[in-house]
Amino acid sequence: MSYEHICPEARFLKDVAEHEMIVIRDDGVHRHIRFQKPGTYCMHFDLITWPGYLCYTGDMGTYVFSRLDDMFEFFRTDREHQRLRDGRTLAINPGYWGEKLQAVERCGDDGRYREFSEDKFARAVIGDLVEWVRSHAYETTKEERRELWDAVVSDVIGADGDSGGYRKQCAAHDFNHRVNRRVEFYFQDFWENNVMDYTHGFIWCCYALAWGVAKYDEAKGSPE
C-alpha cells in the first residue's frame, strides 16, 4: 500500500539526505543511534533499543514499539517484500507496526498515530450512497436521486467538523432522507466504516525506522 498521500517517500529521503549516523551506544540489543544533519537538529531522530523495545524519538514525535527481543530484527522483516514495491526504496508496514506500539507522544497530534481522514470519510459516504442508489434504481427517479445526492453532500459531507471527525460521523449516523412515498435513505452501521488514516508524523517515523536500521546494517556489514 502506498502512503504517498500522507508523506511522500521522496520527501522523507530529501529530509534526511544530509543526515549522518552517530553511534552513542552499541552493545548487543542495547543501542542508541542518532541520525542528524551536522550542525542542526532539524529532522533529527534517535533510535534507542533495549531488550524487547525500541524507542524512536525526534522531530516527528516519540513512539515506543515492542515485539521481539531485538527490535532492529523486527523492522528488518518487511525488506523481503521490498522487491514487490516497484520504485520503492523503503519497505514500511504501518498497519502491523502500529499494532506493536506501546506508547505515543506528540503534543501536536494529541498522542495519536492515526487521525480522522476527510478523504476516507467522503469515500465511505459516497460508497454507501452509490450502493443504495444502485439497489433502488427502479424505485426512484433521476430527479429524486439527484435531490438525495445533493442532500448528502450538503448535510453529511459538508457538515461542520471537528479535529476528531466525531461531528461528521454523527451527521452521517443521524441523516435520514425521505426519497419518495415508498423509500427513504439512511446510512446503515456507518460507524463500522474505517475513516481513520495515519498521521504524517507516524509515516515519517516508519520511513525513518526502515531507513535508519538499513543505514546501521550497512555500517555494520550486517543483515541485508
* 112-155 per-position pLDDT tens digit: 899 899 999 999 999 999 999 999 999 999 999 999 999 999 99
pLDDT tens digit sequence for 191-221: 889 999 999 999 999 999 999 999 999 999 8
Q: What angle do CA 53, 56, 60 make, to 5 degrees?
A: 155
For residue 89, the model assigns a pLDDT of: 76
- Alpha-carbon distances of 196 from 23, 70, 86, 133, 211, rounded to whole Å: 37, 30, 26, 25, 25
Indicate the length of the chain as a whole number.
Answer: 224
Please give the Cα distance from 43 to 54 (Å, whole number).
19
Is residue 110 within 8 A of residue 199, CB to CB? The reply is no
On the question of pLDDT at 181 being above 60, the answer is yes
Q: Which residue has the higher pLDDT, 40 or 78?
A: 40
Angle between helices 142-152 and 118-135 (to 10 degrees): 160
82 or 203, which is more confident? 203
pTM: 0.84
Q: What is the pLDDT of residue 16?
A: 97
- State the average pLDDT over residues 156-160: 90
Tell me the pLDDT of the chain averaged across its residues.
Answer: 90
